[in-house]
Amino acid sequence: MAHFSKDFLWGGAVAANQWEGGWNLDGRGPAMTDVTTGGTVNTPRLITYIDKDGNHGTLTRGQKLPEGAKYAVLPEYHYPNHDAVDGYHHYKEDIALFGEMGFKQFRMSISWSRLFPTGLEEEPVQAGVEFYRDMFKEMRKNNIEPLVTIWHFDTPLYLEEHCGGWLNRETIDHFVRFAKTCFTEYKGLVHNWLTFNEINNTIMFLSLRENSDEAYQNAYQHLHYQFVASAKAVQVGHAIDPTNQIGCMICGIARYPATCDPKDILANRHGWEQNIFYCGDVQCKGEYGTYAKRLWNEHGVKLDITEEDLEELKKGTVDMYTFSYYMSNLITTHKVSDMVGGNFSLGARNEYLQYSDWGWATDPIGLQYYLEMIYDRYHKPIMVVENGLGAYDTVEEDGSIHDPFRIDYYRVHIEAMDKALENGVDLIGYTTWGCIDVVSAGTGEMRKRYGFIYVDMDDEGKGSMARSRKDSFFWYKKVIASNGEDLA
Ligand code: BG6
């Protein structure tokens, strides 16, 4: 007998920049993803610009724009997020397919620059506001509850380029104005919200790119402003509609020490603090953990934090903890010969686990471990709002798509959630990532597919955008209909 409650929120998730497309339609302004090319598992995505002499150039994430240069869309590159999978024109069809699968909840995000093209406007673009309103109405028609991420990696490019982005305290106010617009416009249509997607990414993946004190200074400052922005948005959201449930969203990578060397045990613990607890503690408990001082001191970080900020953090704690879960990593202080390759993976290879083609370890026990640990820490309702396997799909001659590997992945993770429920975790929802194929955030590829629904679109931007049902579509439909009972 499975332990999912009768109103458990089964569903799927996407993000505006990876699903919507329509990047320059109806008054939308660009975001960083619109000047970002595709990459592969081994080659990074590039950010494109024109320098002050008119020469074309590229950067990788974290690198600074040269003096006088401007971000630009260049004709010699393909930008996968421009059209993505055209949810902008297919949302009715996509939501109907989610309805057919029996979704109770669909997680999506609102593109900030579709409402506020530069981020600085006082009033939103009406076409953008109506686009999302119509989408929410469509979800309601299909008995699907929206779960709305307010920020999913898409600060308007103008704010990033001309105003210092999240290193400028004023960005807090621009974000809160955006969030307030969402809470006001969609009052009654949306009850469940997330402020920042994978807020901890800023610190978690930093050491993969660079390790300078300046980089840490910027990362912790950026996070502090986002914490304050989130706390203020939570208060505004509650004031506008007290029934709103507003959550944090953490990139939940479970981590284990690779050996029983006490140095590895401590390094692993410190890794949990820096990468997972740092953000969750501020957003759930309303204050920085005791270890925060150590983390700052390690890199000589001096933050702009005011007394008023600390008050805001206390008043703006979230109602629920949500996280993405794809994999676990091994942490060690020892030199290892067998490192895991692939985007976003860190550390040594775990010989007990299998790895995906992108180097991500399949580890359902890590999900149970994470759920139990986090629930015990915060005692707030939890949702797993991303989980899935990025994999290659093959379309057969008759158009069918057989994806047993995806079904196997989901089965063991749903079983893990069931165990956590049995052990007392207040898990209230599950939205699988990329329930319809979308552009990969990490690599910009289309061939890294997660969906139950296949989209005919390739890495070069060729395809009809037609949707078709994979085998996993019918399987997930059965899982939802049986409320997690029938996983065969
Ligand atoms: C999370 C993000 O990092 O993982 C999503 O919230 C992303 O936006 C997902 O798509 C999977 O990562 P990727 O790189 O396979 O798209």
Sequence-distant (6+) residues with CB within 8 A of 404 are 471
Task: Give pLDDT, residue 424.
Answer: 98
Which of 42, 387, 433, 437, when mutated, tests ligand 1's pocket best, judged by the most ligand atoms within 8 Å of its CB?
Answer: 433
Burial 365-390 (b: 16+ CB within 10 A, else e): ebbbbbbeebbeebebbbbbbbbbbb
- Measured from the CB, is residue 439 less than 6 Å from ligand 1? no
Whose C-alpha lies nearest to ligand 1, atom 2?
441
- Give domain limits for the chain: 9-24+79-481
Q: How far apart are CA 84 and CA 369, in angstroms?
A: 34
Q: Which two tokens stand for residue 22?
A: 């329509």
Best CA proximity match to 91, nearest among 151, 132, 126, 148: 132
Q: Pairing mode, if any, of strands 320-324 and 254-257?
A: unpaired
The total number of residues shown for the chain amounts to 488
At 335, is the secondary structure helix, strand, or coil? coil
Question: Is 27 exposed, middle or buried, given 0-12, 13-18 or 19+ CB atoms closer than 10 A?
Answer: middle
Task: Give pLDDT, residue 428.
Answer: 98
At 350, is the secondary structure helix, strand, or coil? coil
- Measured from the CB, is residue 387 less than 6 Å from ligand 1? no
Q: How far apart are CA 12 and CA 195, in angstroms?
A: 18
**Are residues 195 and 179 in contact, defined by beta-carbon separation less than 8 angstroms?**
yes
Q: How far apart are CA 333 and CA 152, in angstroms?
A: 33
At 280, is the secondary structure helix, strand, or coil? helix
Handedness of CA 142, 16, 23, 461 (dihedral sign): negative
Mind telling me the catalytic residues? Answer: 198, 386
Q: What is the pLDDT along the chain (488 residues), one digit of tens a residue?
A: 999 999 999 999 999 999 999 999 999 999 999 999 999 988 999 999 999 999 999 999 888 899 999 999 999 999 999 999 999 999 999 999 999 999 999 999 999 999 999 999 999 999 999 999 999 999 999 999 999 999 999 999 999 999 999 999 999 999 999 999 999 999 999 999 999 999 999 999 887 777 899 999 999 999 999 999 999 999 999 999 999 999 999 999 999 999 999 999 999 999 999 999 999 999 999 999 999 999 999 999 999 999 999 999 999 999 999 999 999 999 988 887 766 655 455 678 999 999 999 989 999 999 999 999 999 999 999 999 999 999 999 999 999 999 999 999 999 999 999 999 999 999 999 999 999 999 999 999 999 999 999 999 999 999 999 999 999 999 999 999 999 999 99
Question: Is 419 exposed, middle or buried, given 0-12, 13-18 or 19+ CB atoms closer than 10 A?
Answer: middle
The full DSSP string for 166-218 is GGSTHHHHHHHHHHHHHHHHTBTTB-EEEEETTTTHHHHTHHHH---HHHHHH
Task: Give pLDDT, residue 205.
Answer: 87
Beta bridge partners of 251: 324
Helix axes 364-378, 278-285, angle to 10 degrees: 40
Atom of ligand 1 nearest to the CA of 442: 14
Atom of ligand 1 nearest to the CA of 15: 8
Q: How far apart are CA 103 and CA 99, in angstroms?
A: 6
- Measured from the CB, is residue 230 less than 6 Å from ligand 1? no
User: Looking at residue 32, what DSSP letter applies?
Assistant: G
Atom of ligand 1 nearest to the CA of 358: 15
Residue 123, CA distances (Å) to 88, 120, 127 in order = 22, 9, 12
Q: How far is the CA of 122 from the centre of ligand 1 (A)?
A: 31
- Measured from the CB, is residue 433 less than 6 Å from ligand 1? yes
Q: How far is the CA of 49 from the centre of ligand 1 (A)?
A: 24
User: Looking at residue 391, what DSSP letter applies?
Assistant: B
Q: Which two tokens stand for residue 447?
A: 């061939």
Q: How far is the CA of 54 from the centre of ligand 1 (A)?
A: 34
Q: How far is the CA of 253 from the centre of ligand 1 (A)?
A: 12
Q: How far is the CA of 344 from the centre of ligand 1 (A)?
A: 10
- Measured from the CB, is residue 15 less than 6 Å from ligand 1? yes
Q: How far is the CA of 53 from the centre of ligand 1 (A)?
A: 36
Best CA proximity match to 317, nearest among 371, 243, 378, 376: 378
> What phi, psi does 364 have (nearest 5°)?
-65, -30
Domain 9-24+79-481 sits in which CATH superfamily?
Glycosidases (3.20.20.80)
Whose C-alpha lies nearest to ligand 1, atom 7?
441
Beta bridge partners of 449: 391
Task: Give pLDDT, residue 341.
Answer: 58
Q: How far is the CA of 195 from the centre of ligand 1 (A)?
A: 17
- Measured from the CB, is residue 198 less than 6 Å from ligand 1? yes
Residue whose entry in the numeric block shows the structure tokens 């370890």: 361
Q: What is the CA angle 228-326-144, rounded to 5?
A: 70
Whose C-alpha lies nearest to ligand 1, atom 16?
440
- Measured from the CB, is residue 197 less than 6 Å from ligand 1? yes
The full DSSP string for 50-100 is E-TTS-EEEE-TTPPPPTT-EE---TTS--HHHHTT-HHHHHHHHHHHHHH
Task: Give pLDDT, residue 423.
Answer: 98
Q: Pairing mode, if any, of strands 328-331 and 254-257?
A: parallel
